[in-house]
Structure 1
């Protein structure tokens, strides 16, 4: 475990920098709004809207998304319960969380994973949305750190998980 100790120290230091800054509370308000867009309801709406507006291509997008989430969710759940990494606010009273997380552990970030999964799918099927979708996914990742519910490595691994699951689903579906 000594090999990850420097990473854990960097994670903690970065969280301290973010959460103990004098602008933390105003930033947390904006971060909360951004993070809320990654709660899941928007993904279902995007899938249904794509199917409704774009017919056959929208249906392939929706089905690919369902497959990607069917791959991602068990991996996410297994990783959370295997690593059991405590959240930033649990490691020090100096770190506060601005929201109550939906589950107990922090690694990987599910919000980040889902956002990157959707961003990759949007970029693949609707290339004109790629920059906006990736920017939105990145904003969700940053918001999770600024809200004090994830470490930097949690969101990086979440982004890798979501991206990988989307790529696998696109490959399987032949998109």
Structure 2
């Protein structure tokens, strides 16, 4: 596809820029820690803590989060398997992957999708957390690039998917209540 060629070229150049320097292994160590916060366990903990500690918004936050992930997860898998985009280290021997990804394809980034979904929900229910929540989600996406398992556009699409699923869930929750 000629339309995708410039995007693939940019993505590969960006990955090489991020990963071919003397600090990449040091960044990878920090990126592993950041990336692990996007594995899913923390989202469950945040939802449960909100439910237990916040009488005003906790239940709505938890239920909207469950709805958002019920929508996001199948959509994510359909997109990932439809695009079947290979990971950066598979497209270029010059790109090193610092971790073994949990699945085969790279587009969209599931960690980034979930991070931006959670950041959007936190921003809606707890506006004072907007900046740290989105900084955290952005950091997860950057970590996935620095670990060599995602391209820039994987992270971009993941962020849009996460925010979109969260917004849709918020609107649906409002209609149902």
For Structure 1 versus Structure 2, the TM-score category normalised by the shorter chain is over 0.9
Q: How does 1:45-124 map to 2 (within 5 A)?
A: 45-124=45-124
- CA shift at 1:135, angstroms? 0.3
- CA shift at 1:92, angstroms? 1.4
- CA shift at 1:141, angstroms? 0.4
Cα distance in structure 2, aligned partners of 1:92 and 1:121: 37
Work out whether 1:4 is the aligned partner of 2:4.
yes
Cα distance in structure 2, aligned partners of 1:75 and 1:44: 20
Cα distance in structure 1, aligned partners of 2:145 and 2:39: 15
Gaps of 5+ in 2: none
Instruction: For residues 37-78 of structure 1, give each alpha carbon's deviation from its aligned partner in whole angstroms, at most 9, with x where no partner exists.
Output: 000000000000000001252011000000000110011000
Instruction: For residues 121-173 of structure 1, give each alpha carbon's deviation from its aligned partner in whole angstroms, at most 9, with x where no partner exists.
Output: 00000000000000000000000000000000000000000000000000011
| Residue 160 of structure 1: aligned partner | 160
| Residue 140 of structure 1: aligned partner | 140
Instruction: For residues 13-35 of structure 1, give each alpha carbon's deviation from its aligned partner in whole angstroms, at most 9, with x where no partner exists.
Output: 00011111111000110011000
Cα distance in structure 1, aligned partners of 2:128 and 2:57: 15
Number of residues of Structure 1 aligned to a counterpart in Structure 2: 175
> TM-score by structure 1 length?
0.98
Cα distance in structure 1, aligned partners of 2:124 and 2:21: 38
3-state SS, counterpart of residue 160 of structure 2: helix
3-state SS, counterpart of residue 130 of structure 2: helix
| Residue 14 of structure 1: aligned partner | 14
| Residue 149 of structure 2: aligned partner | 149
3-state SS, counterpart of residue 55 of structure 1: coil
Q: How does 1:36-47 map to 2 (within 5 A)?
A: 36-47=36-47
Cα distance in structure 1, aligned partners of 2:54 and 2:19: 43
Gaps of 5+ in 1: none
